[in-house]
Amino acid sequence: MAKKKDSEKTAARTENPNVFGLRAAVVEQPITQALEENYMPYAVSVIVSRAIPEIDGFKPSHRKILYTMYKMGLLTGGRTKSANIVGQTMRLNPHGDAAIYDTMVRLSRGYGALLHPFIDSKGNFGKVYSATAYAAARYTEAKLAPICAELFRDIDHDTVDFVDNYDNTMKEPSLLPTTFPNILVSANQGIAVGMASQLCGFNLGEVCRTTAAYLKNPDCDLSETLLAPDFPTGGEILCDASNLEEVYRTGRGGLRLRARWRHVKEQNLIEVYEIPYCTTVEVILDKVRELIRAGKLKEISDMRDETDKEGLKLTIDLKRGVDPEKLMQKLFRLTPLQDTLSCNFNVLIGGMPRVCGVRELLEEWTAWRIESVRRRIYFVMQQKKDKLHLLKGLKRILLDIDKAIAIIRETERDADVVPNLMIGFGIDQVQSEYVAEIKLRNINKEYILRRVEEVGTLQDEIDDLEDILAKPQRVRKIIIGELEKVEHDYAEPRRTQIVYGAQELDVEEEEADEYPVHVFLSNGGYFKKITPASLRMSSEQRFKESDALHQTFETTSNAEVMFFTDRAQVYKCRLSEFDDTKASAMGDYLPAKLKMDEGESVVYMVLPGDYSGNLLFVFENGKAAKVELSSFRTTSNRRRLTGAYSDKSPLRTILRLDEDCEIAVYSTEPRAIIFNTALLAAKTTRATQGVNVLTLKKKFVLDRAVRVDEASIVSAARYRVRSLPAAGAVFLAEDRGEQQISLID
């Protein structure tokens, strides 16, 4: 019978889920309503309470850990087990011990993710540049670093608001009253819902100086004191002025970072000892191994991680005859040894996420810090006013101490002592309470007089504090003083070197197979690279109307080439960057191909080879400069060199000198001289003005210069000189021959 009743109940529940008080398991709801009611609160919580830092430079998780350690007395005391810190932090942070400890690791000195770590750690906390695991919380120890004194300074002076923790059992600060713009000093990264934040760190000394300059003049040039971001892993930052200005202005952009290395000649190896902040050792090694397997890094015999207690070190064993500079340029292009760090200065301002430039961040931080200092001053002033109020009551007692004693002695009930003192001396309840609590041993004129003397000093201090609150300039002066002290106590030298002119830095393309080619440069700046086979089929060169051949050479397809321009600049590249063409084609227009300045044109082409020999620059003012070709060699593969030659006088001719020879120089008078280039001393300074070789009369200038064997001079002895400068001889008609073509039109 019982079994029958149970089966009936089961059937009833199956047919109607609402029977016996049960609700339906599935409720239809529009997806938009579900997102609004469930997902949006979650998204807002992640943005506001987890992933995006606030103006003090901390996320809530950072702030909870540091404040817990502060309340544990770890700013001045010794270290304690990390597990103990994690357990205490769970009173403020409900997200679990693993998340708390992971956040704590990233704030530690051992991990090295911050320029100025906030936690002084002991034990294995891992490394920011390595994916190796850190030790468990029960093994490591920690305390607050000294710089944390600047995070909590005057926190008990009402400088910031306090809010309830998640279960309303204790209070925690909504922000930390940092005395310096930690938002710019400490790197921070977070991924929220629909947005992210990526703040790079700046050098503390530079930030303090910049903030002080901004407080003095909000329109100051930030780039004068805030040179570039700084990273705890060192390396080099390739500083593009326009790109950096964009990051400063908008808070968005990319920064190119590069590893630092050294070549150990004795062991034929390269040591990489600093890597970009945005990568790890494992990622670099994996990429290099992948390239070696693909046959793209044949120059390397082995690469390994030799990091030890001395610091990071990646060792690259080179094969015999490998150029370390070229190899590193190749590695920079193909591996994360050169990487780009994206910047996204997304910060919570007043509870709302906003992408700010550096100036905006300084504006918001200074406004917030001014308010914090004003609150501190007001708090101190109120304390002094309260004390002054008590002392004024005590001053009344000074008039008749015996009367006060008598009132207390004659009062029968304890509760009537304070009212009777109020009536007897005309003071309020607070003052009466203070007088009534004075110890019997202190009821003497000496004690009371000594306390009363403080009234004048307190009044002066209160007046001064009121004056500070009334004058914003004095508040700014206080903040500037605090910044100067922070800089003096905690600033460190830059770790990341700045490489200026980053827009000119480029890496070589992978070397292609070399084969013979002929190169042609026209007067109009058109360039052709043609193979011998193509020339045999058709050798007739095509140029634009009024254009003609200027220079031609035989070389190989991967040779280096330099193009000198009329703006005292030289552009360097590889012939492999130009496509093979035909004689019937126009060729590449160099000003466009090499991205020259507007109106700039090519005047001379040089194939430097091994950079032996010299270049002779002859100027319109009669001077000539012999410059060693090696002066144009660069180790950073710059595409453009400014100051390629002197710009004090217009250039008339450039000649490549593999060895000294005789040169014929002509003036517009017309006169000419022939001299041996051995008379000129070779210089290593590219922009040297040279020495006088041709003495010119007024209204005449130097016209051109050619090698003697290319000139049509018959009576060479007439013009030959043995010392410089020389006026030369008048040019005879029989020596004219055919008009010589100047190398520069």
Q: Which residues are catalytic?
A: 139
Tokens 């410089």 locate to 724
Residue 731: which residues within 8 A CB-CB, separation 6 or more?
A: 666, 670, 671, 672
Distance separating alpha carbons of residues 234 and 254, to the nearest angstrom: 17
Residue 571: which residues within 8 A CB-CB, separation 6 or more?
A: 562, 563, 565, 590, 594, 596, 639, 640
Cβ count near 154 (within 10 Å): 17
Q: Residues 682, 685, 691, 696: is their CA dihedral positive or negative?
A: positive
Distance separating alpha carbons of residues 64 and 165, to the nearest angstrom: 10
Residue 466: which residues within 8 A CB-CB, separation 6 or more?
A: 381
User: Is 560:509 a contact under the CB 8 Å cutoff?
Assistant: no
Query: Structure tokens of 274?
Result: 């600093």
Q: In which order are the strands placed within the sheet that holds 602-606?
A: 602-606, 560-565, 569-574, 640-642
Distance separating alpha carbons of residues 385 and 379, to the nearest angstrom: 10
Burial of 285 (0-12, 13-18, 19+ CB in 10 A): middle
User: Is 574:560 a contact under the CB 8 Å cutoff?
Assistant: yes
User: Is 313:273 a contact under the CB 8 Å cutoff?
Assistant: yes
Identify the bridge partners of residue 638 per DSSP, sorted by sequence position.
Answer: 505
Q: In which order are the strands placed within the sheet that holds 188-191?
A: 188-191, 196-199, 338-344, 252-258, 236-239, 497-500
Distance separating alpha carbons of residues 168 and 86, to the nearest angstrom: 19
Identify the bridge partners of residue 656 per DSSP, sorted by sequence position.
Answer: 615
CA dihedral 446, 452, 458, 460 (to 10 degrees): -110
